[in-house]
Structure 1
Amino acid sequence: MTDGRWIDIADGVHARRYGELDLTIGLVLGTRRCLVVDSRGDAVQGAELAAAVRELTVLPWTLVYTHAHFDHCFGTTPFLPCDVWAHEGCAAELAADGENARHLRIASYRAEGKPDIAESLENTTITPPNRLLSTETTLDLGGRTVTLAHPGPAHTGHDLVVHVPDAGVVFAGDTVEHGPHGFTADSFGTDTDLTGWPHALDAILALSPRVVVPGHGDPVDAAYVAKHRDGLVRVVELKGAVEAGELAVDDALDRSPYPADVTRAALAGAATPSPT
């Protein structure tokens, strides 16, 4: 994939796709302001995004973090000053573990042979959100409203989705992922709520979206979300059976709708701490 390409989702609603981590960012335009959904993973990446937004609009911007993982919210400084919305749990996570997460990712990128990204992260300052919500809020962008809503614990305990009702679009962050099999092993981090996740997908489906934009991968439709809601329900059932001693792990892997590595991560209750 060519790094940094815009996809037109609807009139004034765009997604920007990146090869690094297969990341997807959102942009919603009103007549008076615009909303940027996530800010990428470091200050250099954030500057690229800010410049790309300015290619489409000169409107003042507001940011929203879909969750606290580094690739979604560490690139904010080039956008400042502006309002930055997030769930209150996101703010708490960044305050408690943001710096530790940053240093872990610096080490990881160096080990992966990506010193430029590691250096960018070393020179990145984490920006905490300054506008918090616990359930939902509605923003007026001028001629268009968007709703920021917590669908319940899922990929993290503090996920937010961004609903653009007039366009039938939901930016879902990592509550929805569009990998080869829907989810990957890294989808299930130490802060994932496996049991709650299907209910969060139900909350997205209740919005009757025409398009759902995941935090990673290309946009999908409601049928895709429903398929993986059902897949997670099945994995939750298998996990319960394993924990109750009614089913061996190998049998659960055979009965899962997902590959073995994905299922093992879900059954374990947590994968290696997820970067996404």
Structure 2
Amino acid sequence: MSARWIEVADGVHVRRHEELDLSLGLVVGDDACLVVDTGGDEAQGAEWAAAVRAVTPLPWTVVLTHAHFDHAFGTQAFLPCPVLAHPNCVDELVVEGAEDKDKWAAHYDAQNQPEIAANIRATRIALPNTLVSERTAVDLGGRTVEIAQFGRGHTDHDLVLRVPDADVVFAGDLVENGAPPAFEGSFPASWPTALAGLLDLTGPDTVVVPGHGEPVDAAFVAAQRAEIAAVVELTRALTAGSVTLEDVFRDSPFPAEATRRAIGRLTGRNRSAR
């Protein structure tokens, strides 16, 4: 699978994958390193682990930003080690992991990528073993990585990681670059609040690493927050009857399909999406 390194600060690396435009992270301290997300299957996880080992021999800790397959299914390749995640991440992997394996294997079969499909089917989903439900920090020796959760957004368990001395923030899929936010299964009404929390960690020179796409800055995050908030307001107007669905699609900052998914989350039977 094609991938390349970007060093966004001294000892802070991003592994950029062509498939799904995925970004995985590595933070290296004096005594240990921290791996941000593990990839989409056990084989990709093994490739990722080998790439990390080419950079540093230090013992690693893994943090999962959320439970979606492309960020969490490669964990087995890193064990044994501490694997940190929000409690709801564990719940989602337990409840939906097997179904997600079938869903994404079928997707790659349909895309005529049988090797990836087979790798997903063969993957053993490894559960996080250290739960993060409040702000915490991981000491890597000479540098710490702060971990926070700002409420429901892309999922109900998105973790954000900040490397203060490097002025880098790993946003997971709370931020998307190169594609619209992924609204399927999301919580659009509270997503702008989660991004406001993320923005509190940033300054004008902060590098923000999205879950997909090239690194961005705080201004990009603020603009995406405003776009999500605009879709929420358009949907509220639609529900109130003051605009039509055609108006919403015309005025939405996102393509029709992404807008439709956001509307579905805001108006559908799953009211927890609000």
Deviation string 1:185-232 (CA, Å, 9 cap, x unpaired) is xx0112x11011111111111012411000000000000000111111
Q: Which residue of 2 aligns with 1:236?
A: 232
Distance in 2 between residues matched to 1:234 and 1:188, nearest whole Å: 14
Partner residue, 1:202: 196
Deviation at 1:73, TM superposition (A): 0.6
* Corresponding residue pairs, total: 264
Q: Does 1:188 align with 2:187?
A: no
Q: Does 1:90 align with 2:84?
A: no
Structure 1 residue 226 corresponds to structure 2 residue 222 = yes
Aligned match of 2:44: 45
Match of 2:96, SS state, is helix
Paired position in structure 1 for 2:263: 267
Whole-Å separation in 2 of the counterparts to 1:134 and 1:232: 25
Q: Which residue of 2 aligns with 1:170?
A: 169
Tell me which residue corresponds to 1:121.
Answer: 120
Q: Deviations over 1:24-82 (max 9, x none)?
A: 00000111110000000111101110110011100000101100000001011121100
SS at match of 2:165: helix
Segments of structure 2 that go 5 or more residues without pairing to the other structure are 267-274
Q: Which runs of 5+ in 1 are unaligned?
A: 271-276
Match of 1:100 in 2: 99
- Report the more deviating stretch, 261-270 or 241-250: 261-270
Offset at 1:97?
1.0
- Name segments (4+ residues, structure 1) moved above 3 Å: none
CA distance in 2, matches of 1:256, 1:224: 17
- The sequence identity of aligned pairs, in percent, is 53
Distance 1:32 1:177 in 2: 32
Structure 1 equivalent of residue 24 of structure 2: 25
Identify the match of residue 246 of structure 1 among 242, 247, 260: 242
Larger RCO (alpha carbons 8 Å, 6+ apart): 1
TM-score (norm 1): 0.93
Cα RMSD of the aligned pairs, angstroms, is 1.2
